[in-house]
């Protein structure tokens, strides 16, 4: 929890530490959605950016992993929807 608290207060090193703990799981999950390495990396990067922008609003620090996973899932779904629209359009 200490690293989450520090990250919420703007400590970038603490945020990087948290991302390093989650990165393999997040990448694998993104890949299961998009089945493409390049897209999975893009989704991972977008997830990290969104999380950094929103971490100060994280209410329950013990749920950091769940919270960032949900961001990744939503980002993956958005990516798939955009891709589907481009394919249909």
pLDDT digits (tens, 9 = 90+) for 29-58: 999 999 999 999 999 999 999 999 999 999
d(CA 65, CA 85): 30
Contact 22, 68 (CB under 8 A): yes
Nearest residue to 29 via CA among 86, 87, 79, 85? 79
Residue 86, pLDDT > 80, answer: no
Number of H helices, E strands in the chain: 4, 0
pTM: 0.93
Q: What is the pLDDT of residues 53-77, one digit of tens each?
A: 999 999 999 999 999 999 999 999 9
Domains belonging to the chain, first-starting first, are: 2-88 (1.10.1740.10)
């Amino acid at each position: 929890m200490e690293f989450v608290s520090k990250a919420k207060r703007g400590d970038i090193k603490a945020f990087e530490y948290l991302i390093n703990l989650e990165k393999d799981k997040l990448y694998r999950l993104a890949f299961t959605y998009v089945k493409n390495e390049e897209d999975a990396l893009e989704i991972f990067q977008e997830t990290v950016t969104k999380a950094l922008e929103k971490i100060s609003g994280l209410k329950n620090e013990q749920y950091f992993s769940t919270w960032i996973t949900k961001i990744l899932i939503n980002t993956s779904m958005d990516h798939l929807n955009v891709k589907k629209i481009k394919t249909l359009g």
